[in-house]
A and B are shown apart, each in its own frame.
Chain A
Amino acid sequence: MKENPMAMQTDSYDIMAQKVIQEHRKVKWFQLRRLLKRKAAFLSLIILVLALVAVLFAPWIAPYPEQGQGAVNLEHRLQAPSPSYFLGTDVYGRDMLSRVIWGGRISLFGGVCIVFFAALIGVPLGLWAGYNEGISGAVISRVVELFLSFPSTLIAMAISILIGAGWFTAIIALIIPWWPWYTRLVQGEVLSIKQTLYVEAAQMLGYGKLYIIFRHLLPNIMTPVLVMILLDLGPAIIAIGLLSFIGLGTQPPMADWGLMVWEGAPNILSEWWISIVPGCAMFMVVIAFNIFGDALKDIFDSKG
């Protein structure tokens, strides 16, 4: 029944490899399909894709691109939603739809930037600190603890004040207190994976630290990191808005969603759309990221 492997032709290995790669794709597709089967997750994905398309193609999609960027239009101040101004206009007569689309550029770009760089800094440090219990690991852990013992927003504000206001500096100011969360998450995961026998088996084969970190630890911590990235995008968008509101983030005439909500707040009773429209946009995107991240987490969790 058993074949003699020597009798096999070499090209059959390629065929074998092909088959397995196909099977592998099927696995990935299976997970995706399970994800999309959840209505909520599917809906979230659609919202996110729409938002992304809108901000990427803002100059073509926004009805009044100049107004979106801040040009005033004083003769149409504070108009309620109408066919020519779909979502109404603000105090300077700017079209809300265009404003929301342009504001989304900062909010989404900023959110993604913050989370991406926080992970980029935090994950490798977490890997190193988790795997090395020596001095370098201890130093990283202490620094992380230090950061986590102060409220992140407070740190971000302080840094913003130091390096100056503006949407770009706000993003940097937010990355700095954000990465330690990733370090802490990864470090915890690594501590438990480190003890598994396959890591010991690799050590037995004489592989070095870096090899083990990148080949054995990293692939096995990617899932929780990915989920955390998705769950963090919403809070990051809100945080930029907060900084903008206290004057440390996006500077007028540009705006991000958070800033727009605050700007419209005084008129909420009469001209409700000025706050509600960007608020809704923010709310929908944040919730969509959350639902999508949650669904992803569920699906990965249930595999174990």
Chain B
Amino acid sequence: MIAQEKKPIEEILGYLEGKKKVVVMGCGGCATFYHTGDTKAVNAMAETLTKEGKDVFKMPLPFSIQACDIEKSGVWLEKNRKELENRDAVLVLSCGDGVQVVTEYMDEKMEITKAVIPGNDALGLVGGGPKKFKETCQSCGMCELGKTAGICPLTSCGKGLMNGPCGGVREGDKCEIDEEKDCAWVKIYKRMEKLGEVEKFEQMLDPHEWSKMKRPRLFEIEEPIGMDVIGAMKGMMTVKFGPKPKLDE
């Protein structure tokens, strides 16, 4: 998931200066998870902006409809074409990806060019939960986990060293840069020790190949996932969260 937090309202109001009629668009994906773009967040933002004298049109997206998944979120944009045409700005409560996908779709597919404003700050790919999350992968395009006992040296080490630890490990095996965090390289050592492969630790790892990080990266898949799959997913969820089936049935 893409972790995110809300931008300070002062910053958003700055971008909206001179723009009276505003669409507030939500996101049913990660932004719903982090309460930065769910229906509640859309309502709260609409309320704040109304108090600030804006004329607001709310456009929340249902759960599982992600702003960045434009084939689906585009349906909501098309449905509200009239509103979008008449507005001064669209405030998107998603990560920066959602914001830009919406911008491009409106520009190129709908031929509606409006100021599109980010409501959140994206903080990276994270895992964990339900309350605490951790960034462990930066999607570098050339995974090294097979060499480092399953701990990413590029992301979990504060310096992203392929050969650590650096000389700065703190008391309690904490990172030089931030004593709240564990030193990734000591963790790698300890896991290798448990896996009985500590001799690997003395071998140099080659410098990481960054060529797959040539930005922006473009990507294509053979079989796109369509609306029918989303429908099926919803069916699955009812089963999962519904009453437990009796074992003897």
Whether chains A and B associate is no
